[in-house]
Amino acid sequence: MPGEGKMARPSKIRNVLFQFLDRMKITDLKTYLVGADEGAAADRPRGRNWLFLKIFTDEGVAGVGEGGGWPEIVEKGIHELKPFLVGENPFDIERLWHKLYHLLHGHGVTGAVRGGALSAVDMALWDVKGRALGVPVYELLGGKVRDAVPVYGHANTPEQALELRHAGYKAFKCRPQVQTLRALREAVGDTMEIGVHCHAQFTPASAVQLGRAIEPYRPIFLEDPVIPEDVTAFAHVAERVGVPLATGERFATKWAFTELLSRKLVALVQPETTRLGGITELKKLAAFAEAHCVKVAPHDGSVGPVVEMANVHVLAAIPNAFYLEHRYRDVPWRYEVAPGAVPEKNGVIAVSSAPGLGLDIDEGAAARHPPRKAEDYRYEYPAPDQTMRLDTGWK
């Protein structure tokens, strides 16, 4: 047959497209710091804020990303990186990730600050690439394995849990109190999965007591019962408790998960994608977790709509996705500042087929919600005797 055994020749259109992509250059970066708090109380300086980034190119294609960790500081870091990105080809995502990572290496292990800057840039580059090619990001990651991503919420009272169930949720997590978990399980029965989040507040001994006490109520995971950086402490709990352990939101690199995964100490990883290093690193961590039979449920409780869409695209393209954390009742302007972001409906977020990440930044809406001053808040944070608890979490 004609052409048998030969590779098809690329069309002229494809050649033009590749030349266009090969010539594309980054021309500018712009950041948007958006207030995401309505209340008077806060647990961090200036409360909860979102940091969005837009990367512009000479071909008129722009992409958006989101950086976390410490948004106000990360924003400054992103602008320090601008001279090292302008003039680069935005398609070289892996190379640019390593360039920026090593460029910042001289500052030491800056954790979430370096991770936040890398994450914002990385997401925006994936968005540029998807938009330029006219395909959603999940297609660049291997294609879809699911059309919607299930989310889990937060509830500490039976009323809150039943509200989530009425909204279509199949899972939520609660504070580490035995009585709370018992009341929640009695309220929802076996119709919902319940996780328990400890914020690393317990000693290894008390975490074991807590874990054993909640076993009868069948929690789906016990998150950060001890300081996750202390792998020995995690192992102490994992070997003595029948509840699957989970961790990840505090980590700023994929390497932080290495020993926990290789020693089979966790059943679920919960990376914060705005700290981890973006889509590139989340996809790599998911593959590493899959090799160890571990599920992925990204942290998403305090961050914004841009990273939520990035998480959705990755979770749509991996086999070991579990749930995506989601704030059920967020500030009213969540979707106003990011048109195109897909809201949760009936406990899932549908995977958009729009090019790139499928959303944009509304500059006017972002400007209408600036961060508040530090002195505008009443601050609440754990006292020293609450950070290494010896109680069992009964009350």
The burial class, CB within 10 Å (0-12 / 13-18 / 19+), for 41 is exposed
pLDDT for residue 6: 54
Those residues whose C-beta lies under 8 Å from the C-beta of residue 205, and which sit 6 or more positions away, are 390
The one catalytic residue in 154, 299, 313, 369 is: 299
> What values do phi and psi take at 50, rounded to 5?
-110, 140
Instruction: Match 């989601």 to its residue by tokens.
Output: 326
Which tokens go with 254? 């994929």
pLDDT for residue 387: 75
How far, CA to CA in Å, does 75 sit from each of 68, 113, 118, 286, 387?
A: 9, 9, 11, 27, 30
pLDDT for residue 39: 87
pLDDT for residue 3: 47
- The string of pLDDT tens digits covering residues 264-279 is 999 999 999 999 999 9
pLDDT for residue 18: 66
pLDDT for residue 108: 78
- The helix (run of H) or strand (run of E) holding residue 127 is helix 112-133
Which tokens go with 292? 């160890």
CB 324 within 8 A of CB 272: no
> What values do phi and psi take at 370, rounded to 5?
-75, 160
Which tokens go with 184? 């929640």
Alpha-carbon gap, residue 292 to 287, rounded angstroms: 9
Which tokens go with 329? 């009742």
Domain extent listing, the chain: 12-134, 139-362+382-386
Exposure letters 184-195 (e unless 16+ CB within 10 A, then b): bbebbeeebbbb
Alpha-carbon gap, residue 183 to 161, rounded angstroms: 10
Which residue stretches of the chain have pLDDT < 50? 1-5
User: How many Å from the N-terminal Cα to the C-terminal Cα in the chain?
Assistant: 77
- Is-catalytic flag, 197? no
CB 361 within 8 A of CB 337: yes
Domain boundaries 139-362+382-386, CATH class: alpha beta
For the domain spanning 12-134, the CATH number is: 3.30.390.10
- Is-catalytic flag, 292? no
Nearest to 336 by CA among 360, 308, 312: 360
pTM score, two decimals? 0.94
